[in-house]
Amino acid sequence: MTCFKMMFLKRTTQAELDAFYPVRPECQDSVPKPRFKLRTGKTLSARRWHSSFSEEGQLDIAKVLRRIQRGGVHPSIRGAVWEFLLGCYGPNSTFDDRSLIRQRRREQYDEWKAECKKMVPVIGSGKFLTTPIVTDDGQPIEGAPGAQSDQQQNNDAVFEKKVIQWKQVLPQIGLDVVRTDQPLVFYQNERNQAKLWNILSIYAWEDSDISYVQGMNDICSPMVVLFENEADAYWCFERAMRRLRDNFKTTSTSIGVQTRLSTLSAIIKVIDPKLHQHLEELDGGEYLFAFRMLMVLFRREFSFMDALYLWELNLVMKIGYS
C-alpha cells in the first residue's frame, strides 16, 4: 500500500511539474526537453520551505540551501525562494519586516512607473512599442503611439538627452520582448509581454548608465513568469542585474562579458589542455562561441525549467551553505 501510494504521489507531482511552464503544442518538437525531475526527499518542497521559518519569520537559510543543492526547488514556491536567493530579503528578516519592505518597494516602483508613463503613455497600458516614437535627433514621430506626452518641457539639457536616449531604446526592447521565450504559453498573452516590456523600460530609465542591452530580456523573463505582481518581478530582476550588470557594460572597444570569456579560457586551459589546444587550432581560443551562453546564463541552451534549476544551483554556490 505504501509503495503504491509513493508511486501515485511521484506520478502526480511530475504531472504537476510539467504543467507549470507549458509549451505551445506547435513548439514541442523544436525546444529542448526538460531534464529536471522532482526528487522525493531532496527537492525543496512547499512543506519543507514553510517549516524552515521560525515563528517570527526568520529563515533557516543553511537548511534551505542544502536542500536546493540536493534537488532544486519545487516550482510552486520558486518565486518566494528566489526572493531570498537573490537577496531581496535577508534570512534574519521577520514576516513583518518583509511585509513593510515589500510595500515600500511596490510604492517606489509605482512612482517610477508613473514618471515613465507621463513621458510615454503606453507604459502600464497592457500594450508595448515595437516601432520608433522619436527620430535620431529626438523629435516626436507624427502618428507614432506614445510619441506625445503630457510631460512639461524640461530646460535641463542633460535630462532631455536622457529622455531622448531612453525613448529611442523602447522599440528595441519591444522587438526583443516579442522574441522572448516564444514557445511558452505564458507569452501568448500580450499583457504578459507588456509586463516584461514595462519592467525592462523602467529599469532602462532608472539605470541609464546601462540602459537596455539585448539579453537582459532573457534574464528578466523568468521573474515575470514567477511573480504575478509586476513590482515584485522588477525588484528580483534588479537584484539579478546587480550580479550581472558588468556583463552588459559596453564601450567602443569591449563588452563586459569578455572578461568572463577570458576566465573561461584560462580555466579550460588548466583543466583540459587538449581541449583548449583543439579550440585554438580551430581559431576558437577566445571562446567567442560561449558569448551567448555566459551573457544570458544558458537561457537559450536549456529548457526554461532546466535553466531555472541551473540558476538556483549557481545562486546556492555563491551564497554558500554549511
Neighbours of 230 (CB within 10 A): 20
Amino acid 64: pLDDT: 96
Quick check: helix, strand or coil at residue 44? strand
Amino acid 261: pLDDT: 78
The length of the chain is 322
Instruction: Give the closest residue to 263 by CA, choosing from 278, 250, 246, 251.
Output: 246
Positions of the chain with pLDDT lower than 70, given as ranges: 1-15, 145-155, 251-255, 284-285, 291, 320-322
Q: Please report, as a single letter, which amino acid is at residue 261.
A: L
- What are the cell numbers at 270? 588548466
The owner of cell 534574464 is: 219
Amino acid 279: pLDDT: 83
Amino acid 19: pLDDT: 82
Amino acid 51: pLDDT: 97
What does the DSSP 8-state code read for residue 189?
A: S
Amino acid 8: pLDDT: 37
Domain ranges of the chain: 95-249
Quick check: helix, strand or coil at residue 272? coil
What does the DSSP 8-state code read for residue 53?
A: B
Amino acid 154: pLDDT: 57
Amino acid 156: pLDDT: 77
Amino acid 22: pLDDT: 92
Amino acid 35: pLDDT: 84
Model pTM score: 0.87
Neighbours of 42 (CB within 10 A): 15
Amino acid 53: pLDDT: 98
Amino acid 296: pLDDT: 79
Amino acid 13: pLDDT: 55
User: Which fold would CATH assign to domain 95-249?
Assistant: Helicase, Ruva Protein; domain 3 (1.10.8)
Quick check: helix, strand or coil at residue 215? coil
Amino acid 232: pLDDT: 98
Q: What kind and span of H or E run contains 201?
A: helix 190-206
pLDDT digits (tens, 9 = 90+) for 165-223: 999 999 999 999 999 999 999 999 999 999 999 999 999 999 999 999 999 999 999 99
Amino acid 34: pLDDT: 82
HSE-CB of 35 using CA atoms within 13 angstroms: 6
Region for residue 164 given its phi and psi (left: phi exceeds 0; alpha: psi -120 to 50; beta: otherwise): alpha
